[in-house]
């Protein structure tokens, strides 16, 4: 599986501010995704990060709130904008490799607390 890192691993932020989360993979991957896992819940897909074009957002998630960049095949960022306490969650990036099957592998996650 690919080695995936995320920065920061955790953060505590004030209401109304923004946080950018970075996801770095050690090899080129075709697909990168961003998920949210709220406390005690399962994973919800926020968007697919498309290399060189705008991300594809799932229902209930919008670009103004969660802008995403993917400048190349190994790196992506997710920004959580104008944060409120409801944004407190774990944010995870995942990847599917360029070679291989359908499998998705997850990064270690970013634990965000908004006060």
Partner 1 sequence: QKEVEQNSGPLSVPEGAIASLNCTYSDRGSQSFFWYRQYSGKSPELIMFIYSNGDKEDGRFTAQLNKASQYVSLLIRDSQPSDSATYLCAVKSVRGKLIFGQGTELSVKP
Binding site for partner 1 (CB under 8 A): 1, 33, 41-45, 58, 90, 92, 94, 101-109
Nearer to partner 1, 19 or 23 (CB): 23
Nearer to partner 1, 78 or 92 (CB): 92
Count Cβ neighbours within 10 Å for each residue of 59-90 and write b for 16 or more, e otherwise. Answer: eebeeebbbbebeebbebbbebbebeeebbbb
Least distance (Å) between residue 41 CB and partner 1: 8
For 68, the token pair is 């995403």
Least distance (Å) between residue 4 CB and partner 1: 9
Distance CA 84, CA 115 (A): 7
Least distance (Å) between residue 11 CB and partner 1: 16
Nearer to partner 1, 75 or 105 (CB): 105
In contact, 91 and 21? CB cutoff 8 Å: yes
């Amino acid at each position: 599986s690919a080695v995936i890192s995320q920065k920061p691993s955790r953060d505590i932020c004030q209401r109304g501010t923004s946080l950018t989360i970075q996801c770095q993979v050690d090899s080129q991957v075709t697909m990168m995704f961003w998920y949210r896992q709220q406390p005690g819940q399962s994973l919800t897909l926020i968007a697919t990060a498309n290399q060189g074009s705008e991300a594809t957002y799932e229902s209930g998630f919008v670009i103004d709130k969660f802008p995403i960049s993917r400048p190349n095949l190994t790196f992506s960022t997710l920004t959580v904008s104008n944060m409120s306490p409801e944004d407190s969650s774990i944010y995870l990036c995942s990847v599917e490799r360029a070679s291989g099957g359908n499998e998705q592998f997850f990064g270690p996650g970013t634990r965000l607390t908004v006060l």
